[in-house]
Structure 1
Amino acid sequence: MNLAVIDIGGTTIKIATWKNNQLQDIHAVKTPKELKAFYTVLTNEVNNIKNKTSIKGAAISSPGAVDKDAGIIRGASALPYIHNFKIVDELEKRFDFPVSIENDANSSALGELAEGSGQGCNSMAFFVIGTGIGGALIIDHKIWHGAHLYGGEFGYMIINGKQLSTLASPVAMAKRYNEQTNSNLDGKTVFALADQGDKIAKKERQTLIHPLAVAIFNIQHSFDPEKIVLGGGISNNPELIPLLNEEIKKIRSSIEIATVNPHIVLCKLKSNANLRGAVADFEQEFNK
């Protein structure tokens, strides 16, 4: 099945063609600032693909809480004009074929399940570690959206009275470090300084690692997934998994009854995970 594939971002929209079971002709366009221009850009891109390839639909990854039953993107994002109306119906009218939309973190998780670190798994938890903490839960090969579309929103988890997103975000870690040192460094640099023995960097890295390890432990013992996959820029750091495993070892040793050691892995698909996952979502939705 050939598809147009679209990954909507706050600053750019990535476009690809799914053909011969692979992503082709991947490119990006600037995200429009209002709905009319948004429709024009997407319609032109889809028509360009139609002119080259016979396609059966459009698979879309989007920010926001996607209500698939209603065909509405609820919640909020950097693109307020895409929310709270029947956007799937509007796009299907313009494209003249079926459209699927899934949340971007969920799409990324489905991509990892299809061709990445989660391949072969029946269940998986996916953490997106960036400005905040996002994520997704996969149970029986499908996204667990939850009763209120909050499935996988790990960043809201409360640890020591604070949200996980506040504690375990690399952006928040860098902010804490910069306030103490009058610096202007990013999370990647603070991580590297910790490796070099910087005491403040080590302290702030531990402030990130401990709550993230607690969250992973909690998810493992709440849903018991086969793997926990980590994504986001911080996942490029080779020290991340060893640090988390060591912290989880400490947590497990403090509990008398036997516990499960989470199988933590890094994502493989990186920037194309959303596109690949959007394809998987379309196939699940229309191959019932």
Structure 2
Amino acid sequence: MKEYTAFDIGGSYIKYGMVTEQGELREQDKMKTPDSLDVLMQHITDIVHRHPDSAGIAVSAPGAVADEGVIYGISALSYLHGPNIKHRLEEKTGLPVFMENDGNCAGAAELWKGTAKGKQDVLTVVIGTGIGGSVIKEGQTHKGASLHGGEFGFMLLGNPDTGRLESWSQLAATRALTRYAEAEKEIEPDTLTGEQVFEWADEGDPACVKALDRFYRFLALGLYNLQYIYDPELILLGGGVSARKELVQRINKKLDELMREAPVGTIRPTLDVCHFRQHANLLGAVYRFMQQTEAANR
């Protein structure tokens, strides 16, 4: 059975593991995201060399990932944009490399063996350092004219505190959550992690409880808008926060509040979490790799 070395490049962590052609994830781990492309390339190369039987490298990455291996657009990792990363990895490892946008990878995993299997119109929303996602239209990934299909994090919302427009990523990604908690606790920026905020909120810390309440409200606002833009059968939530058992319940509670405040819409989003949760991007990258290989061999 073939195995692939899969990487999920995020703004805070790089997740990696071995994925079989049957969708089994083995030896998964993560590391801090490095500060430069050269260090990232070396980390990936070192991991690949520890698995000499790998059939190829599947990479989930932020941004508008083109087939030739260049990542357009913007993301939390500016050094990813410009170089042909696919070609550089192939030269360093001697293995075939496939790259896809992280949100599209999450959607592909769910179409393959997850919660979206058998469905036609689904949105996946991946919540991490930023917010990405994918649009599944008639059972296929819809990338869009500029490869920006599913870049939900660029949606603009009003920030009632500042009176300014801010992107959904600025208001509802995990970095926003830590920023809210740091402001409430009056501590220096970049002091907390998302995991700490969740943990302290579970213990009753009032500042973290308040920060989470704000975080869930902005998530609900964006999801409400997406429902009326695309009207999907289902919206799936991915990323690290999808491992939180109360996530859907808390967002649904905020949706109830929003729909009472502004009773103009009667259709509420149907929410669920990605079946593969925080590992969806790894599996989806491999599935898309296999799809591409199969199509090329026809």
CA separation of 1:194/1:5 partners in 2, compared to 1, >3 Å: closer, same or farther?
Answer: closer
Structure 1 residue 66, shift from structure 2 partner:
0.5
More displaced 10-residue stretch of structure 1: 157-166 or 12-21: 12-21
The equivalent of 2:57 in structure 1 is 58
2:104 aligned partner = 106
Q: In the TM superposition, what is the alpha-carbon distance from 1:188 to its structure 2 partner?
A: 5.2
User: What residue identity is the alignment partner of 1:211?
Assistant: F
Partner of residue 281, structure 1: 288
Aligned to 1:179: 183
Alpha-carbon shift at residue 67 of structure 1 (Å): 1.1
> After superposition, where does 1:98-247 map in structure 2 within 5 Å?
98-160=96-158, 161-182=165-186, 186-187=193-194, 190=197, 201=208, 203-247=210-254
Task: Tell me, in whole angstroms, the C-alpha distance in 2 between the residues paired with 1:125 and 1:225.
Answer: 7
Q: Deviations over 1:11-70 (max 9, x none)?
A: 5462415245533454668877766776666566556645x47x3x433223332012x3
Q: Does the Cα contact within 8 Å between 1:15 and 1:45 map onto a contact in 2? A: no
Q: 1:24 to 1:199 in 2, by over 3 A?
A: closer
State the structure with more CA Rg: 1
User: In angstroms, what is the RMSD of aligned CA positions?
Assistant: 3.7
1:276: Cα distance to partner?
A: 0.7
Q: Distance in 2 between matches of 1:47 and 1:193?
A: 39
- CA 1:252–1:90: 2 relative to 1, 3 Å: same
Structure 1 residues 246, 35: closer, same or farther in 2, change over 3 A? closer
Contact 2:125 2:133 in 1 (8 A): yes
Distance change (3 Å), C-alpha of 1:65 and 1:201: same
Deviates more, 1:24-33 or 1:118-127: 24-33
- Give per-residue Cα distances to partners, 1:112-166, cap 9 Å, x unaligned: 3322332332232122223332222222333322222222122221122322222
Using the alignment, how far apart are the partners of 1:29 and 1:83 within structure 2?
Answer: 21
Deviation digits for residues 242-285 of structure 1 (CA, Å, limit 9, x no counterpart): 23223323444566676322110122323432221011111332
2:274 aligned partner, one-letter code: C
User: Which of the residues 6, 23, 35 maps onto 2:25?
Assistant: 23
Structure 2 unaligned spans of 5+: 159-164
**One-letter amino acid of the structure 2 residue matched with residue 213 of structure 1:** A
SS in 2 for 1:261: coil
Which of 267, 285, 289 is residue 260 of structure 1 equivalent to? 267
Stretch of structure 1 that moved more, 230-239 or 150-159: 230-239
Unaligned runs of 5+ in 1: none
Change (3 A) 1:20 1:151: closer
Pairwise CA distance, 1:208: 2.3
TM-score of the pair, normalised by structure 1: 0.77
Given the superposition, is the C-alpha separation of residues 192 and 88 from structure 1 closer, same or farther in structure 2, using an over 3 Å criterion?
Answer: closer
Deviation at 1:88, TM superposition (A): 3.2
Quick one: which amino acid aligns to residue 163 of structure 1? Answer: S
- Cα distance, 1:201 vs structure 2: 4.9
